[in-house]
Structure 1
Amino acid sequence: MNLNATLSMLKDLTDANGIPGNEREPRNVMKRYIEPYSNQISTDNLGSLIAKKIGDESGPSIMIAGHLDEVGFMVTNINKHGFLQFETVGYWWSQVMLAQKVTISTRKGKITGVIGSKPPHILTSEALKGAMDIKDMFIDIGASSKEEAQEWGVRPGDMITPSFEFTPMKNKKLLLAKAWDNRMGCAIAIDVLRQLKDAHHPNIVYSVGTVQEEVGLRGARTSAAMIEPDIAFGVDVGIAGDTPGISKKESLSELGKGPQIILYDSSMVSHKGLRDLVINTAEESNIPFQLDTIAGGSTDSGAIHLTANGVPSLTITVPTRYIHSHAALLHYDDYVNTVKLITDVVKRLDRNTFNEIINS
């Protein structure tokens, strides 16, 4: 993989703005990068991007799903002084929100704002003991009135996204960005097709950028109904447990130690036959990996595996710090090894192997 080309793609994907229901911008970026490696590009009626690459038409169909949407906010009202009231779209923890810079995407262009609240100097001692409630926050865009904000193009329903630019750290393999959850999965779906461009694979591969994952795995459900896959991989971010205060009981994984093969999450138990194939492939290809669980979260696999009469599915994640905030951090080597692992598994997934999986 070309480092500079990959970093450029990751920057374009993560810098794009797209909360659930507003994924056009990242979808266009993904389409631009994946189209050269696809036989066909289509979308479902909710807007999920589906890139098809045919290896052997008689082989099983494999769905690789990353989701296009990121957690963000939506304008719900403009008060008479020009401050924006908002609603979260996707899960947010209030303590990571205050004083953070945001972008409001309006019909007249993008506007910068900052999330504000009462200053601590005028709060009661009792109020200072807890976290600020999201309902007591607002967004300041520098408008002097409701009318001025409206003149700038702001109206209820407008998308609000974290404002943060893709940034390699001093250690160049550590990459800081907004929207790793889950433009990282979309990038892996692109790079798997890139690796398969001139390679034989005994199947049909669908690399998918799903929509509205953060509000209920919705695009995974509709795109899987359209594809009707035989096998599926949900590719997402996972929890990195290598920061202060996290115990091994809470998270086993570390940055730089390889992709996480998820045993179960709140929406599914991984398919044993598929899980064994992936683990065996990783061991035979000398690809580092980590086994983990996400008891408090779910991924697109949770919706895909319930499609039609059932789809053997597995979630593969990249350990990531500080997800569902303005800036998350992951390790480039984990990204590369996830691409390698999924690519190697795809090359092994012929019709006989699929039959062995469903009979295991």
Structure 2
Amino acid sequence: MEYNFDEEIAFLTDITLAKGVSGREKEVAKTFIKYAEPYADEIKRDALGNVIAYHYGKPNGPVVMMCGHMDEVGFFVKSIEDNGLIRLHPIGGWWPLCLPSDLFVVTNKEGKEFLGVIGARAPHGVPQEQRKNVIPLENLYLDLGVKDKKMVDDLKIKVGDMVTPKVDFHVMNDGKTLMSKAFDDRIGAAIALRVLKNLKGVETECTYVCVGTTQEEVGLRGAKTSAYGVEPDIAFATDVSLSHDTPDVLDGGDSKLGAGVAMTLCDAGILSHPGLVNYLKETAQRLDIPYTNDFMAAGSTDAGTIHKTREGVMTMTVSLACRYYHSPYSMINYDDYINACKLMTEAIKNVDRKVVNKIREAKY
């Protein structure tokens, strides 16, 4: 398998800049399907909007599911003031500190987009004791540069319309660091899709199911229904994790940009299956792919609900270190992405009943 830098960047640009907050993943799903169609044996959708793409293995072979969630954090239009300013309802977790003066786009029901900026009061006249305070989310507003509510109505912007960051994709100055919106979790979706591409024409005993899930940021909802329908023997949730290499996250964690694939041993929603973790580590060691042990004290991924599906699924989270996620811009490392694609392709390609049984037995 070969990886062309320019082609990978074009792919990642396409998938990260697609707009889709939780419950509004339509544009992202179209992009996901566009990249899945040339390589999938079959593509299905379910009632929650999950995209489920199949690479079929041998009849009665094990089923391996890998998912990345398509939704991103953003906002809904909550209300429109008489003066045309828009109040926002957060979808997913935001820290208000990172929002004032940032550009956002409102997408109306017709798919038309309108630029706005989160209002940021000038410091002049603000009492000194207030300058250190973080503005509560409910006090933030989007300024479209209109004079009244009628102008907003004329744009056919309604309550419930989607609001997403207005950003560009950047390859940073080292040629390896990538910056865009929504790496949480379009990078996970990208890895799952790249594995699907890599397995095209490869005979496997297992059936590989590449899933773009919905509504992860509001409760792991799409993962619950898709895993129920897929009925996997093994599942990987691909996502992002903290990068422990900035002044505010220097806490001794191993996961850093460029340090390799982050294998999440536990988070608030799952204790990763030890047999599956061992299998992935052994595969990484055989391929000489760097990896780190990752621990998350708070938060979870789609793995948190997949492993509790039906009678239980052997599940773990595979992550990339990421800076600044849940903000308009985030950063990942290109080599980490490529290494994750190589590792997951090799690991999934070799899953058969013997491997599944060995993984299962490691727990008991």
TM-score range, shorter chain: over 0.9
Q: How does 1:242-261 map to 2 (within 5 A)?
A: 242-249=245-252, 251-261=253-263
Query: Shift of residue 117 of structure 1?
Result: 4.1
Task: Indicate the residue corresponding to 1:344 in structure 2.
Answer: 346
Q: Does 1:153 align with 2:156?
A: yes
Query: How many residue pairs were aligned?
Result: 359
- Counterpart of 1:114, as a letter, is V
Query: Once the two structures are superposed, what CA deviation does each residue of 1:120-176 show, in whole Å capped at 9, x if it has no partner?
Result: 223222211211111111100011111110111111000000110111112221111
- Counterpart of 1:210, as a letter, is T
Task: Indicate the residue corresponding to 1:278 in structure 2.
Answer: 280
Task: Indicate the residue corresponding to 1:34 in structure 2.
Answer: 36
CA distance in 1 between partners of 2:245 and 2:71 (Å): 26
Query: Shift of residue 344 of structure 1?
Result: 1.0
Task: Indicate the residue corresponding to 1:73 in structure 2.
Answer: 75
Bigger shift: residues 25-34 or 114-123: 114-123
Q: 2:48 aligns with which of 38, 46, 49?
A: 46
C-alpha RMSD over aligned residues: 1.1
- Counterpart of 2:187, as a letter, is M
Task: Indicate the residue corresponding to 1:99 in structure 2.
Answer: 101
Q: 1:300 aligns with which of 290, 299, 302?
A: 302
Task: Indicate the residue corresponding to 1:172 in structure 2.
Answer: 175
3-state SS of 2:88 partner: strand
CA distance in 1 between partners of 2:336 and 2:175 (Å): 13
Task: Indicate the residue corresponding to 2:321 in structure 1.
Answer: 319
Q: Is the 8 A contact 1:117 1:136 kept in 2?
A: no
CA distance in 2 between partners of 1:228 and 1:143 (Å): 51
CA distance in 2 between partners of 1:48 and 1:12 (Å): 19
TM, length-normalised to structure 1: 0.98
Which structure 1 segments of 5+ residues have no match? Answer: none
Q: Which runs of 4+ in 1 moved over 3 A?
A: none
- Counterpart of 2:279, as a letter, is L
CA distance in 2 between partners of 1:107 and 1:72 (Å): 16
Q: 1:217 aligns with which of 217, 220, 225?
A: 220
- Counterpart of 2:15, as a letter, is L
CA distance in 2 between partners of 1:294 and 1:149 (Å): 42
Task: Indicate the residue corresponding to 1:8 in structure 2.
Answer: 10
Query: Once the two structures are superposed, what CA deviation does each residue of 1:10-66 show, in whole Å capped at 9, x if it has no partner?
Result: 001011100000000011001001111100001110101000111222211011000
Query: Once the two structures are superposed, what CA deviation does each residue of 1:178-237 show, in whole Å capped at 9, x if it has no partner?
Result: 010111011101100111112232200100000000000000001111111110000001
CA distance in 2 between partners of 1:132 and 1:124 (Å): 14
Q: Does 1:137 align with 2:174?
A: no
Task: Indicate the residue corresponding to 1:196 in structure 2.
Answer: 199
- Counterpart of 1:72, as a letter, is G
Task: Indicate the residue corresponding to 1:58 in structure 2.
Answer: 60
Q: Is the 8 A contact 1:52 1:206 kept in 2?
A: yes
Which structure 2 segments of 5+ residues have no match? Answer: none
Task: Indicate the residue corresponding to 2:267 in structure 1.
Answer: 265
